Amino acid sequence: MNISLKGKNAVVCGSTQGIGLATAIEFAENGANLTLISRNESKLIDALKKMSNDGSQSHRFLVADFSDPDNLKEQLSSLSSEITILVNNTGGPASGQLAKADPEELFNAFRNHVVCNQILTQKFIPYMKEAQYGRIINIISTSVKIPIPGLGVSNTIRGAVASWAKTLATELGKYGITVNNVLPGFTDTERLGNLIENKANTENISYQEIEKQMKSSIPLRRFANASEIANAVSFLASPAADYINGINVPVDGGRLGCL
């Protein structure tokens, strides 16, 4: 089975921490040339130092703010279009009930996720078509299958990204380009910690109790490591996944109550 990314050029968004960073590290270990994208330059510099390099690889970073699509377009203009792997990964919206969400929260989330995904994808599609090889992988959420209570805006936007991706998968498949979504379950990241803390404060329950409740809902009885999500992303990016297109891949320890 060929899971090597040797010689392939990949862009990984949100790559200074959590799942994005773990994915970039896995890609580098599998031979890819990387462009890391985030809005924090100092964190990008630190992340770049964690990328393995066999001497033939070339890694770089790009500072871009997804809250400003025009800024993203401007920064992308300096980047070679010779990219065949794109990982769309952006920090999720704040927690809260959808009924209480300000409409501006929905506008902002749609811009950060759907609009910026579209900008990135349009930048690289022409070369993917030329190469007859492309991988567009979106890190979203299990909420596209079952909405998660207390994450109203996130549930809404993640669903939009999933439908966007399925549409693209149908349009681009004939060019050898696949579009898939990875749905992380509860993963031991800073975002999960923040969500647990917010829930604990709202319900006046200890952090440890919320954590225990969440783990008890997972058949494997633990949170995922970011590297375990990255393994799934790396497989989908590889030649071994040539015939996998337009699907949602939960990596959740069996938590979802649906097929």
Domain boundary assignment for the chain: 9-185+225-251, 188-223
Q: Provide CATH code, domain 9-185+225-251.
A: 3.40.50.720
- Is pLDDT above 90 for 259? no
pLDDT at 105: 97
pLDDT at 241: 98
Are 189 and 16 in contact by the 8 Å Cβ rule? The answer is: no
Average pLDDT, integer, range 197-214: 93
Are 113 and 215 in contact by the 8 Å Cβ rule? The answer is: no
pLDDT at 204: 94
Cβ-in-10-Å burial (0-12, 13-18, 19+) of 158 comes to buried
Average pLDDT, integer, range 139-165: 97
4 band by pLDDT with thresholds 50, 70 and 90: very high
DSSP state string for 183-203: EE-SBSSHHHHHHHHHHHHHH
CA distance 17 to 15: 6
Average pLDDT, integer, range 85-109: 96
Average pLDDT, integer, range 53-65: 97
Average pLDDT, the chain: 96
**Beta-carbon contacts of residue 47 (< 8 Å; ≥ 6 apart):** 15, 16, 17, 21, 24, 36, 38, 61
Q: How far is CA 64 from CA 10, 44, 83, 214, in A?
A: 16, 11, 17, 34
List the one residue out of 181, 112, 114, 185 whose CA is nearest residue 148. Answer: 185
∠ CA 143-148-149, rounded to 5°: 160
pLDDT at 28: 98
- Is pLDDT above 90 for 81? no
Average pLDDT, integer, range 181-195: 94
Q: How far is CA 125 from CA 85, 119, 120, in A?
A: 10, 10, 9
